[in-house]
Amino acid sequence: MSKPRILVVDDEEDLCEILQFNLESEGYEVETANSAEEALERDLSSYQLLMLDVMMGGLSGFKMADMVKKNEKTAHLPIIFITAKDTENDLMTGFNIGGDDYISKPFSIREVALRVKAVLRRTHPTDVIQKVEEGEIIRFDDLSVDVLKKKVFVSKDSITLTKKEFDILLMLVSHPGRVYSREDILTKIWTDEVYVLDRTIDVNITRLRRKLGGYGKYIVTRLGYGYCFDYN
């Protein structure tokens, strides 16, 4: 799986170096630019996340973000603003432009790492879900689904699932964020059954969540729609 690419744009070179070093330690590919003008010369569509300082000489982070969002090739890019200002007006400006998060200086590196991970989970779920084609293994953090061997592991602990529970989990984790209605699940999982109650699906989902422990929370109920594997 390729590493998510992040561009950090800040006119403080020391801060860029600190963020680059620590985010690379978290497993990301990180590049830096010391002005919005320099950043705009890059192929921004090649990145999965932009981190923009708000107050820079020349173009501000807000102005650059506005340009990024108005370009159809880069409008999808998530943006985290970094700033020494944290007033309500600044927050509203950033979010109205299309920012995904807002980090105020001074900040801890741990906080930055957590916020970056959260934004990437929301906006690039396929970068978080790892599919190992050769062995047909799907991984999310310490959760592993072995498609061929029909086994599920949390860390190194094997989780015992029924066939229906395994099939439901595989369906959901293979398409993170996609909502499956009860009818979808019935059609795809209970293909050999003549008559199955909706309650049967709910019971299987409940058992599956319990068996997955902390990872059960990612199986989310969308009221009126169905179920999905979600990180939000």
* One domain for residues 213 and 158: yes
Listed residue (182, 134, 183, 189) closest to 166, CA to CA: 189
* One domain for residues 11 and 120: yes
CA-CA distances (angstroms) from residue 5 to 20, 78, 111? 11, 12, 19
* One domain for residues 194 and 225: yes
* One domain for residues 116 and 202: no
Mean pLDDT of 162-184: 90
* One domain for residues 139 and 161: yes
* One domain for residues 151 and 224: yes
Q: Domain end: 88, 103, 127, which one?
A: 127
Listed residue (26, 15, 32, 230) closest to 117, CA to CA: 26
* One domain for residues 9 and 123: yes
How many domains, the chain?
2
What pairing do the DSSP bridges indicate for beta strands 101-104 and 130-132? Answer: unpaired
What is the token pair recorded at 140?
Answer: 């999310």
Q: Domain end: 83, 104, 127, which one?
A: 127
pLDDT band for 191, please (50, 70, 90 cuts). confident
Tell me phi and psi for residue 169, to 5 degrees: -60, -45
How much is the pLDDT for 87? 57
| Confidence check: pLDDT of 42 > 70 | yes
- Domain span at residue 34? 5-127
Whole-angstrom distance, CA of residue 90 vs CA of residue 102:
9
Mean pLDDT of 202-229: 92
pLDDT tens digits for 45-79? 999 999 999 888 889 999 999 999 999 889 889 99
How much is the pLDDT for 232? 57
pLDDT tens digits for 84-111? 766 556 667 777 888 888 888 888 888 8
Q: What is the DSSP secondary-structure string of 6-27?
A: EEEE-S-HHHHHHHHHHHHHTT
* One domain for residues 111 and 166: no
* One domain for residues 72 and 155: no
